[in-house]
Amino acid sequence: MVITEIHYTDYRNLADCTVSFCDGMNVLYGRNAQGKSNILEGIYYFARGRSFRGAHDRELIRFSAPFTRLQLSFVREAHRYPTVLEAYLPRTGKKRFTKNGAPLSSVVEMFGNLRAVLFCPAHLSMITGGPLERRTFLDIALSQLSHEYLTCLRRYVKLLAERNALIKLADGGRSVTETEWAVYEEGLAATGAVIGGYRREYVAQLAESVRAYFDGLNAFGDPIGAEKPDIRYQSHSYAEDDPETAFLTGGTVDAPEEIRDRLRERLCANRVREIAAGTTLYGIHKDDVRLTLNDREAKLYASQGQQRSLVLALKLAEGEIAGKIGGEVPIFLLDDVFSELDERRRAFMLEMLTGRQIIVTSCEPEVIPERYRARHVAFHEVRDGTVDGQRVGANAAETIDPAADNAADEAAEAERAENDAWSDRGEEPGGENGL
């Protein structure tokens, strides 16, 4: 899979911008607040259906514009004819997606068309953050690979919200019938069993690849394998042992039907406790992924460098598995990642990503070492929401002046303040979309 071009209409600071990409490495460089990350954000929107920065859809629309439109063209390795995806996001009304001009009826139909792996500094929260960060990682990766998974996940989220509403009614004294409980518990158990099965198998595939990539990223001075990472799926729902402590890696587990039954039984048995708590306490929405180094929690005991290496290993493994399951190599999007890596880790990443389409953001083109520029590399300078063509190979633009960079930051901050003030005069943020 290779992206050939993307066009932005009134997307953040990209008023009317077209970017063409080569099938190797593409470096988007320029001062801060010029639009580099906005370009990456727009690409990844087609992979996830929402901003990877957590922004609401209306926040993506350029100041005072009535809508934003994204048009992305790519070719698949199998047939090499172009596919054009379009996203239309209005300030009022529903967003719309099309594929080669034909409307897509739901976000489920949009998922899986563009497969992309995103790296950004915020992904360190996969190690340092709570279970939600790790579940989100699994959900995004699996939703790109399986429509069944995405459909079950969306159904599960809807049922969970409805059951929580029922719990609050019961807590308020409203009599809830066994039939009402059963509708939601049967649905949550059935969809939860499917989701949990997908997650367990995916984590088992991740584990081996993560170990290999981590060794390559972290073996500087230490023997290969000195630090042994491990990743396991933690289930609070259907584990064979104590659900609070059991970890599953894809070994001997119950059949899907038995998992479904156990989930249903757990929900039924804990109604009184859940009514007291005001929410559903058991299910796949409580599961986690345990990340360790030498059997110690990476969140607590790994150094910052080890944590960063573990995240990068997870992302490289995500791309590898996507290629195996999906039948084509995904696009890699790297948002200001290389600047935080030392020279040896940067070199390892570049070697591992050779032969893939990569789109990188950086303040300066020198983030790509000279020896890699002889390969198929295109440099795109981003200035104030525009892209000044491309330079291929070893020739790149000069280094950015720090003083001018600071001035650009101040100007961008002033513009954001103006936009916020305008928004406060009547523009309400939109609701969350996608996952």
CA distance 265 to 272: 13
pLDDT of amino acid 345: 87
CA distance 389 to 89: 27
Q: Which tens digits make up the pLDDT trace of 177-230?
A: 999 999 999 999 999 999 999 999 999 999 989 999 998 887 654 555 578 899
CA distances 123 to 9, 115, 232, 311, 322, Å, are 28, 18, 18, 7, 18
Q: Which tens digits make up the pLDDT trace of 253-286?
A: 567 788 888 899 999 999 999 999 999 999 999 9
**Number of helical (H) and strand (E) elements in the chain, helices listed first:** 12, 17
329 CB neighbour count, 10 Å cutoff: 20
* 434: pLDDT strictly greater than 70: no
Q: What are phi and psi of 175, to 5 degrees?
A: -75, 125
pLDDT of amino acid 253: 55
Tokens at 175, concatenated: 């009599």
Q: Give the confidence band of 305 by pLDDT, cuts at 50, 70, 90.
A: confident
- pLDDT above 90 covers a percentage of the chain that reads 59
How far is residue 418 CA from its own chain's centroid? 30
Q: Which tens digits make up the pLDDT trace of 327-339?
A: 889 999 999 988 8
CA distances 37 to 196, 390, 401, Å, are 33, 17, 19
* 38: pLDDT strictly greater than 60: yes
385, 15 Cβ separation under 8 angstroms? yes
362, 336 Cβ separation under 8 angstroms? yes
Residue 10 DSSP SS3: strand
- pLDDT above 70 covers a percentage of the chain that reads 82
Q: Give the confidence band of 373 by pLDDT, cuts at 50, 70, 90.
A: low
Least confident among 32-36, 78-82, 162-166, 223-227: 223-227
* 245: pLDDT strictly greater than 50: no
* 129: pLDDT strictly greater than 60: yes
Least confident among 14-18, 50-54, 372-376, 393-397: 393-397
206, 142 Cβ separation under 8 angstroms? no
CA distance 73 to 3: 6
Q: Give the confidence band of 298 by pLDDT, cuts at 50, 70, 90.
A: very high
Q: Which domains does the chain have, with CATH numbers?
A: 1-115+328-435 (3.40.50.300), 124-326 (1.20.1050.90)
Extended strands (E) in 273-362? 288-293, 296-297, 331-335, 358-362
CA distance 391 to 169: 63
pTM above threshold 0.85: no
Where would I find the H helices in 64-112? 107-110
CA distance 377 to 373: 6
Least confident among 148-157, 364-373, 399-408: 399-408
CA nearest neighbour of 7 among 90, 74, 59: 74
